Amino acid sequence: MKPVKPLLAALLTLCLAMPASAQTEQRTALSLPALFTDLLKLPLQLIPKPKPKPGPTAPPPVATQPGPRTLVLYDAPPGQTFTKLGMAYAIMLRNLLGHFDSTVDLVPVQNYAAGQVNNYDATFYLGAYYDNSVPPSFMADVTTTAKTVVWFKYNLWQMAWNPTYNFQGRFGFGFNGLRGLNALPSAANPNPGFFDTITYKSLPFVKYYTYDGSAVAADPDVGIVGITDAAKATTLVPMSNPKTGESAPYVVRSGNFWYVADLPFSYIGPRDRYLVLTDLLHDMLGVNHAESHQAMVRLEDVGAMVSVSAMQTLTNYLYQQRIPFSVATIPYYADPLGVYNGNVAQFVPMSQATNLKTSLNYALARGGEVVMHGYTHQYSNMRNKYTGVSGDDYEFWNIVANTPVAEDSMAWAKSRYLAGLLELSSNGYSPTAWETPHYQGSALASKAAAQTFAKTYQRVVYYTADSPNFNAAVGKDFAVGQIFPYPIKKDYYGQRVLPESLGNIEYDISAIDPTSNYNYTWQDIVTNAQYVKTVRDGFASFFFHPFWLEPQLGVPGYADFQSTIQGITNLGFTWTVPSKLN
Amino acid sequence: MTTKNRNLLLTCASAAALLTVFSASASAAGVAPPPLPPGSPMVKVEAGASPAEAIRTERAHKHGNLRNKDYMRPDVAPAPGIGTTSSPATPPNSPSR
């Protein structure tokens, strides 16, 4: 009964926060007594339970094996526009360390205290800024500690080229310099090349690159090292420069010291070298998870306007293949501007969403389960940024202004989560996980999700401040989107994150919808699955929009869906669902 | 994420500018840094997802079929078991389900 009180408070907040039109609809859908009854039926298992206090006769708590204790040092030179860039990278690494149940401390490298490295099982230094000063005390400790130290990219020269540290003699490899683009890009030579290919477990992981005629979007710089004593140092992963034919070490290990030539948190994607690090972290931390490959499929953006026919077809196929699946469900349909309803506002509570409930009931009886995908999957009565209609727009982020929404707070976000849960529970559904609309909510919304749902199932955007200022002249903030190849027990916001690692099928239907203007094929998804399988416990997790089966679109949605499922199955993945993941 | 957001999370730290900013610290460390590679001032680095992935997470999924849709009338004849939560028959290829 304990959670009821906050739920009531949150619902009151919700009533104040909802648009008037939506409130009217909500009132007609729920009488007050029914509301109280429904509160008691809320799926409380979604709400993290407080830890029970042991009574006087309770047995002593069972000792659990804690994850490794890790220190992440990052560049944060004060007074710079990009002071917080290193922190953004540090947050991404911190999230990955959450896969290992690690207790992580994030510390600007200038705040390093002598001897600190010995308090941790592993220390990571993220060399994000060219020639940022590394404290001599840290470098001295690196040469003496028996604990694991992993150094990324820049600034190794400060130790390797300073005879004080006898770097080469100690570690068996030397630092030779930096490499980036092979030449200046130009119209005649738009891609001069760089060390862009990292070969790992027989697959080429290619770093992102585009050139628009004036600027290069890429992260080509790498540190070049050379092994001088093979008895001490080993190249674990090589990188190559296809345009010059050169190769060089990408990851080197010398005892407890590792060097990664790159900072693999930029321009990440499902086939990016970022995945190499996600796998190698097992070795760096000495936590060798068993080889295990699971897959997940989620039917996406299923709301009041869903096609029963499409849902039935997909459900039947998955059921016949004995594949469990989830349905990303939008509990409450809103079209406040009447964009799809002749300019007349339209709101459909779940109690009236017959087709949605028919589809869900059919799916749930055949291996499906509900994931809550927003409350309305749109925000207020504005176009954010498309139509203001459920399924189209952002709900927990003002994408037009690129800021948190005006009401942003944990209480506001939680009130919407609870409203969505109430819509579901009052119609007999209990979600097994949460998914933020368009994968982007504010920092506070994500923190509130961690307090409301036991699992978050998506890619996640992280910020270097809860109220970020992306335009500050000094210390501007960053937002970083992160893809996970495996579950994260606790991320930067406290969420348990289940992975969506592969993406989704898309078709160019720009004749119907100008914004749907590119193809992403089932072969792309299956290729992505091959890459994520290099991660020893990597998940092949994708989603699919049932509307691709609607005949008026004229695309081979159903055939491609089947090919995707078959392709992933043939790679040896075992299908699972959020409810089965602890 | 969107293009707009992408731009705002742009890290675009010009390496050349950083060279200037941190040259003093390098002196303090007593080691001269290696030269930056060619084209460094043209390079913009973005932390996090690539633009291609950022676009993918923001698909609007609107295609006009929602217009005046009847959300209470199924677009398919009811199949056996539809609309109920009762368990359907075991699938043909899964006797042990």
Enumerate the domain spans of chain A. 4-46+292-458+500-580, 69-285
B31–A162 CB contact, under 8 Å: yes
Specify if B21 maps to a domain: yes
Task: Nearest chain A residue to B27 by CA: give it.
Answer: A133
Residue B19 at interface with chain A, using a CB cutoff of 8 Å: yes
Q: Residue B70 has what pLDDT?
A: 87
B93 by Cβ neighbours in 10 Å (0-12 / 13-18 / 19+) ranks as: exposed
Note whether A373 and A414 are within 8 A (CB).
no
Give the span between the Cα atoms of A25 and A525, in whole angstroms. Answer: 40
* Residues of chain B with C-beta less than 8 angstroms from the C-beta of A95: none
Specify if B94 maps to a domain: no
- Residue range A409-432: average pLDDT? 98
- Residue-wise pLDDT for A148-169, tens only, equals 999 999 999 999 999 999 999 9
Give the span between the Cα atoms of A241 and A398, in whole angstroms. Answer: 41
Specify if B20 maps to a domain: yes
Architecture of the CATH domain A4-46+292-458+500-580: Alpha-Beta Barrel (3.20)
Specify if B23 maps to a domain: yes
* Residues of chain B with C-beta less than 8 angstroms from the C-beta of A320: 91-94
Specify if B8 maps to a domain: yes
Give the span between the Cα atoms of A100 and A107, in whole angstroms. Answer: 19
Q: Which contacts (CB < 8 Å, 24+ apart) does range A145-148 have?
A: A145/A117, A145/A118, A145/A256, A146/A256, A147/A117, A147/A118, A147/A120, A147/A121, A147/A122, A147/A123, A147/A256, A148/A121, A148/A122, A148/A123, A148/A256, A148/A257, A148/A258, A148/A284, A148/A285, A148/A286
* Residues of chain A with C-beta less than 8 angstroms from the C-beta of B46: 217, 219, 266-267
What six digits make up the tokens of B34?
Answer: 């290696």
* Residues of chain A with C-beta less than 8 angstroms from the C-beta of B74: 308-309, 354-355, 358
- Pick A427 or B83 by higher pLDDT: A427
- Residue-wise pLDDT for A364-395, tens only, equals 999 999 999 999 999 999 999 999 999 999 99
Nearest of A67, A69, A80, A186 to residue A131 by alpha carbon = A80
Residue B97 at interface with chain A, using a CB cutoff of 8 Å: yes
Between positions 29 and 58 of B, the ones with CB within 8 A of A are 29-31, 33-40, 42-58
Give the span between the Cα atoms of B72 and B82, in whole angstroms. Answer: 14
Q: Please state, for a pLDDT cut of 70, what percent of chain A lies above it.
A: 89
Which one-letter amino acid corresponds to residue A276?
V
Phi, psi of A95 (to 5 degrees): -65, -45
pTM: 0.87
B43, B47, B65: residue with CB nearest A218? B43
Q: Residue B29 has what pLDDT?
A: 56
B9, B65, B74: residue with CB nearest A358? B74
Of 3.40.50.720, 3.40.50.880, 3.90.1570.10, 3.20.20.140, the CATH number of A69-285 is 3.40.50.880
Specify if B24 maps to a domain: yes
A479–B9 CB contact, under 8 Å: yes
Give the span between the Cα atoms of A490 and A96, in whole angstroms. Answer: 9
* Residues of chain A with C-beta less than 8 angstroms from the C-beta of B25: 77, 131-133
Per the prediction, chain A carries an average pLDDT of: 91
Nearest of A577, A543, A580, A582 to residue A325 by alpha carbon = A577
- Pick A20 or A549 by higher pLDDT: A549
Specify if B43 maps to a domain: yes
What six digits make up the tokens of A20?
Answer: 């008037």
- Residue-wise pLDDT for A71-96, tens only, equals 999 999 999 999 999 999 999 999 99
User: Which residues span the domain enclosing B48?
Assistant: 3-28+39-56
Question: Any idea which of A15-29, A124-138, A534-548 has the lowest mean pLDDT?
Answer: A15-29
Nearest-neighbour CA in chain B from A57: distance (Å):
43
pLDDT band at B26 (very low <50, low <70, confident <90, very high): very low
Give the span between the Cα atoms of A312 and A46, in whole angstroms. Answer: 27
Nearest-neighbour CA in chain B from A143: distance (Å):
17
Q: Which residues pair with A329 in a beta bridge?
A: A302, A372
What six digits make up the tokens of A236?
Answer: 């674990």
Does residue A60 have a pLDDT over 90?
A: no
Nearest-neighbour CA in chain B from A56: distance (Å):
45
B83–A358 CB contact, under 8 Å: yes
Total domains in the fold of chain B? 1
Does residue B7 have a pLDDT over 50?
A: no
Residue B93 at interface with chain A, using a CB cutoff of 8 Å: yes
* Residues of chain B with C-beta less than 8 angstroms from the C-beta of A389: 62, 66
B4, B72, B97: residue with CB nearest A354? B72
Name A53's Cβ contacts closer than 8 Å, sequence gap at least 6. Answer: none
- Residue-wise pLDDT for B12-21, tens only, equals 333 333 333 3
Note whether A431 and A425 are within 8 A (CB).
no
DSSP secondary structure string for all residues of A434-488: E--GGG-B-HHHHHHHHHH-S-EES-EEEESSSS--TT-SSS---EEEE--SS-B
Helix (H, G, I), strand (E, B) or coil at A372: strand
Does residue A185 have a pLDDT over 60?
A: yes
Give the distance between the most distant pair of CA atoms in chain B. Answer: 79
A365, A438, A547: residue with CB nearest B85? A365
A392–B60 CB contact, under 8 Å: yes
Q: Which contacts (CB < 8 Å, 24+ apart) does range A397-400 have?
A: A397/A438, A397/A440, A397/A441, A397/A442, A397/A445, A397/A461, A399/A438, A399/A440, A399/B2, A399/B4, A399/B5, A399/B58
Q: Residue B69 has what pLDDT?
A: 81
Residue B80 at interface with chain A, using a CB cutoff of 8 Å: no
DSSP secondary structure string for all residues of A324-339: -EEEEE-SSEEETT-T
A183–B39 CB contact, under 8 Å: yes
- Residue-wise pLDDT for A492-538, tens only, equals 999 999 999 999 999 998 888 888 888 999 999 999 999 999 999 99
Q: Residue B88 has what pLDDT?
A: 63
Quote ipTM for the complex: 0.86
Extract the runs of DSSP E, i.e. beta strands, from A490-580. Answer: 497-498, 503-504, 540-544, 574-575
Question: Any idea which of A160-174, A267-281, A308-322, B4-18 has the lowest mean pLDDT?
Answer: B4-18
Strand A460-463 to A503-504 pairing: unpaired
Q: What angle do CA A31, A34, A39 make, to 5 degrees?
A: 125
Q: Residue A511 has what pLDDT?
A: 85
* Bond into A232 cis (ω within 30): no
